[in-house]
């Protein structure tokens, strides 16, 4: 972990407690992705190694009270949007209560969630009633056998039931995330894109990233978004709709389709200039950039009896020194945490 110290300097002295948090590059940082657990009921090969995963003991994870306190403080510093992630967030037994508490926090305008949907169907309506606005659901194949291989045991039928339950509960606009890996599921791109023809969903194709424990997958597996765009355009037609604020996806639409298609090109076309997000890990670290190791230990400050004002100052300092972007072009890769710890 790269330590962060709270230092007074000509730069950090510009951080004002009365204004929404901005970083030193002028970006307004208002979106927090919270990992509720580092555990997952899938073992997707591009996310986790098949063997050797070590998970944080329960005492190291943030408690409900700690998490809700941090959300309140983050809201006071200008964070407005919360996305619950994992691991797999539906493994958290108190998920519905947490959603309700976060949704009722002053200053928080939206609570969403990213999930593999395996356990979603029975609780989708409860989550919606508690204040969850929408979900992103991971689905990397429409072929049950290939899906099982990619996820190392996942049940596509149960995931599909979760998708349908989310739509019925009004957790929309529904976004489906697919990590494309060459030679694994790139042959399914057209079938996945066709889901948007009759459904008002957004299918999002994501370039595989070189994260801890699975970096070798990305070495030869990246399929550049422009290659996928060309394939879909040649076979189904494709109209460019644009970029939407800080959304990392370039958005397109098949002519006449009800839904849309997004391309998230972290490797081939980074979107660092519009980044508005930070990540809180399940063990209480504020992670500054997905593909860098910089992070600040908020759990230590919480359990060290820091005041709300001191915690808010730490958050503002961390936002101020948020890196401009990842260092992949220079060969800098993350070495501390895998995707299951960061929540994407």
Averaged pLDDT, 172-185: 96
pLDDT tens figures, 102-134: 999 999 999 999 999 999 999 999 999 999 999
d(CA 86, CA 115): 8
Question: What's the chain's length in residues?
Answer: 344
* pLDDT score of 47: 86
Task: Please check whether residue 52 is in contact with residue 1, taking contact to mean a CB–CB distance below 8 angstroms.
Answer: no
d(CA 30, CA 36): 19
* pLDDT score of 7: 36
d(CA 196, CA 204): 10
pLDDT band at 4; cut points 50, 70, 90: very low
- What tokens does 256 get? 């006449």
Task: Please check whether residue 46 is in contact with residue 214, taking contact to mean a CB–CB distance below 8 angstroms.
Answer: yes
Report pTM: 0.91
* pLDDT score of 218: 74
Task: Please check whether residue 255 is in contact with residue 308, taking contact to mean a CB–CB distance below 8 angstroms.
Answer: no
Least-confidence region, from 10-19, 35-44, 87-96, 205-214: 10-19
* pLDDT score of 48: 85
pLDDT band at 51; cut points 50, 70, 90: confident
d(CA 51, CA 49): 5
Helix (H, G, I), strand (E, B) or coil at 249: coil
Task: Please check whether residue 138 is in contact with residue 85, taking contact to mean a CB–CB distance below 8 angstroms.
Answer: no
Percent of the chain with pLDDT over 70: 89
- Taking each helix axis from N to C end, the angle separating 95-103 and 64-76, rounded to the nearest 10 degrees, works out to 20
List b or e across 11-43, with b for residues whose CB sees 16 or more CB atoms inside 10 angstroms: eeeebeeeebbbbeeebebbbbbbbbbbbbbbb
pLDDT tens figures, 256-266: 999 999 999 87
Q: In the chain, what is the straight-line distance between the N-terminal and C-terminal CA atoms, in Å?
A: 18
Burial class (CB in 10 A: 0-12, 13-18, 19+), 270: middle
Q: Output the CA–CA distances (angstroms, integers) from residue 257 to 142, 249, 291, in the order listed.
A: 19, 18, 34
- What tokens does 124 get? 């989708």
pLDDT tens figures, 143-173: 999 999 999 999 999 999 999 999 999 999 9
Q: CB neighbours of 275 closer than 8 A, spacing ≥ 6?
A: 27, 246, 248, 289, 322, 325
Least-confidence region, from 12-21, 71-80, 195-204: 12-21
* pLDDT score of 18: 58
pLDDT of residue 210 exceeding 80, the answer is no
Report the mean per-residue pLDDT for the chain: 89
Averaged pLDDT, 306-318: 96
* pLDDT score of 96: 98
Q: Cβ–Cβ contacts within 10 Å for residue 214, how many?
A: 21
């Amino acid at each position: 972990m790269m330590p962060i110290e709270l230092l007074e300097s000509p730069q950090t002295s510009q951080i004002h407690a009365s204004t929404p948090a901005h970083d030193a590059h002028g970006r307004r940082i208002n979106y927090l992705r919270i990992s509720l657990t580092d555990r997952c009921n899938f073992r997707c090969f591009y996310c986790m190694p098949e063997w050797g995963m070590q998970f944080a003991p329960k005492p190291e994870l943030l408690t409900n009270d700690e998490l809700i306190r941090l959300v309140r403080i983050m809201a006071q510093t200008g964070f407005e949007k919360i996305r619950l992630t994992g691991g797999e967030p539906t493994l958290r037994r108190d998920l519905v209560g947490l959603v309700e508490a976060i949704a009722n926090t002053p200053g928080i305008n939206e609570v969403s969630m990213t999930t593999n949907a395996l356990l979603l169907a029975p609780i989708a309506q409860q989550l919606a009633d508690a204040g969850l606005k929408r979900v992103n659901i991971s689905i990397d194949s429409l072929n049950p056998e290939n899906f099982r291989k990619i996820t190392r045991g996942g049940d596509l039928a149960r995931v599909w039931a979760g998708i349908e339950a989310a739509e019925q509960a009004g957790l929309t606009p529904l976004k489906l995330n697919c990590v494309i890996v060459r030679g694994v599921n790139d042959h399914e791109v057209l079938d996945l894109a066709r889901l948007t023809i009759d459904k008002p969903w957004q299918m999002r194709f994501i370039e595989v990233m070189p994260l801890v424990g699975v970096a070798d997958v990305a070495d030869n597996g990246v399929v550049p978004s422009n290659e996928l765009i060309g394939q879909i355009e040649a076979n189904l037609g494709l109209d460019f709709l644009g970029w939407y604020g800080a959304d990392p996806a370039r958005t397109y639409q098949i002519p006449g389709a009800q839904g849309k298609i997004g391309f998230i090109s972290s490797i081939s076309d980074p979107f660092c200039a519009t980044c508005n997000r930070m990540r809180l890990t399940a063990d209480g670290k504020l992670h500054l950039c997905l593909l860098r190791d910089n992070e600040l230990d908020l759990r230590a400050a919480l359990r060290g009896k820091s005041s709300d004002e001191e915690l808010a100052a730490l958050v503002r300092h961390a936002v101020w020194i948020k890196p401009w972007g990842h260092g992949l072009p220079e060969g800098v890769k993350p070495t501390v945490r895998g995707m299951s710890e960061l929540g994407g």
